[in-house]
Amino acid sequence: MCRNFDAHTFIHKMMLAWVKDLSALGGLPAYSFAIVALLALGKISLAAYLLAAFIIGLLIAFAIRFLFPRERPDSKLSKGNILERLDSSSFPSVHSFRATTLGCLFYASSPSYATLAAAIILIAAVSYARVSIKRHHKSDVIGGIVLGFLVTVGLLRFSLWM
């Protein structure tokens, strides 16, 4: 056995890596992949919903971030250009927003206990990960969840796509 091996540190590093991977489920690559996969499967209306939700939600989130900038737990607000300042602000969590729109739209397209459970797990996992890796405060992820839910319900309520 190696003398310098610290099991606690190793497990902590592995758990942190796992949590960061969970956070990626709310990232732009995962969201984009979902849209492309839906298009490939012929689910045009669901892909259109995800794209519309993304655009509307991002515009709202960036408007909030512009008007009410908030430092992330792990860094200061950027003093660079407007895009850097918007990206460095933490409220609302766009990752939690995207996870919520994904979960809610998949549940709405195929309502069952299984899709509801999957949606809740996705939203909770991404939100937990964002707080755990200190990219957001709890209120940031709650704001992202509320925004995602409102945008999704708004799209479903006021459209005839589905």
pLDDT, one tens digit per residue, over 68-94 is: 888 888 877 667 787 777 877 778 999
Span 115-153, pLDDT tens digits: 999 999 989 988 988 888 888 889 999 999 999 999 999
Please name which of 105, 117, 113 lies closest in space to residue 162, comparing C-alpha atoms.
105
Q: Give phi and psi for 6, each to the nearest 5.
A: -120, 105
- 82 exposed, middle or buried (CB, 10 Å; 0-12, 13-18, 19+)? exposed
Where are the domains positioned within the chain? 7-157
pTM of structure: 0.79
Please name which of 155, 139, 103, 153 lies closest in space to residue 124, comparing C-alpha atoms.
103
